Amino acid sequence: MPRKRELHDRYFKQAKTEGYAARSAYKLKEIQERHRLIKRGDRVLDLGCAPGSWLQVATELVGPEGRVVGIDLLRTRVPEMTNVNVMEGDIYTTDPITLRAMAYPELTGQPPQFDVVISDMAPNTTGHGDHFLSVRLCRRALEIFPSLLRPGGCATLKVFEGEEFPDFVKECRAAFGSVWIFKPKASRDISRETYIVGKGYARSRH
C-alpha cells in the first residue's frame, strides 16, 4: 500500500512543478484526453472550482477566445486569469443567469448557456453519509442544467460511489445522449470518487 500511495504522490509533485493549484488538474486532463469535452472558444462553467486547478486546465483548453466561469463556497488559490471569472457562492441559491452573464460580459440581454459544465464538487467528508451528500450535490447540478447547459452540451460530474450511484447514472443517461463512467489514474486507489461524463445534453427524455 505505501508504494501505491507514493506512486500517486507524483501527481502532487507534478502539480507543484507545473504550477497547478492541486493534483486534481490531472483528473480533468485525463477526462479531456479520453472524451474531448472542451473545445477552443467554449464557454465553460466549473462548479465547486476551489482551489482552482480545473479553472487553470479549462482556460488552457478554451484559449483566449473562450471563457471559464467558476463558483465555489471557498476562495480559489490561483492568480487572476484574463478569460476566467470566479465568484464565491452557493449553487443552491445563485441565479444561473448570473453565472451565464459572467461568461458573456460583452453581451447585453439574455446571455446564452454554457457549452460545457465541469464539476469536481465534493461534500465535507466525515466518513458517514458522504456518498449521499455527493449524490445530492450532483442532483442539484442536474436540476439546474436546463438553465445552465445548452442543448447538445457536455458535462462531467464527480460523484462518490455507493448505493444511490446506479440510480444517479440512470438519471444522467436520461439527460444525455451518451454517458460514460470514468475513474482517472490521478484519483487515489482508495478513493470512492468516480466521474460521470455526458455528451449531447437533451434534458430528461422520459
Per-residue pLDDT of 78-87, as tens digits, reads: 888 999 999 9
Q: Is 4 a catalytic residue?
A: no
Out of 3.40.50.150, 3.30.70.890, 2.60.120.620, 1.20.120.160, select the CATH number for domain 2-201. Answer: 3.40.50.150
Do the Cβ atoms of 172 and 194 come closer than 8 Å?
no
Angle at 141 between CA 66 and CA 169, to 5 degrees: 110
Report the pLDDT value the prediction gives residue 1, as an integer from 0 to 100: 41
pLDDT in tens, 56-78: 999 999 999 999 999 999 999 88
Residues 7-24 have a mean pLDDT of 70
Helix axes 25-35, 53-62, angle to 10 degrees: 40
pLDDT(99) > 80? yes
Active-site hit among 27, 158, 183, 199? 158
pLDDT band of residue 204 (cuts 50, 70, 90) is low
Maximum average pLDDT range among 21-25, 99-103, 185-189:
99-103
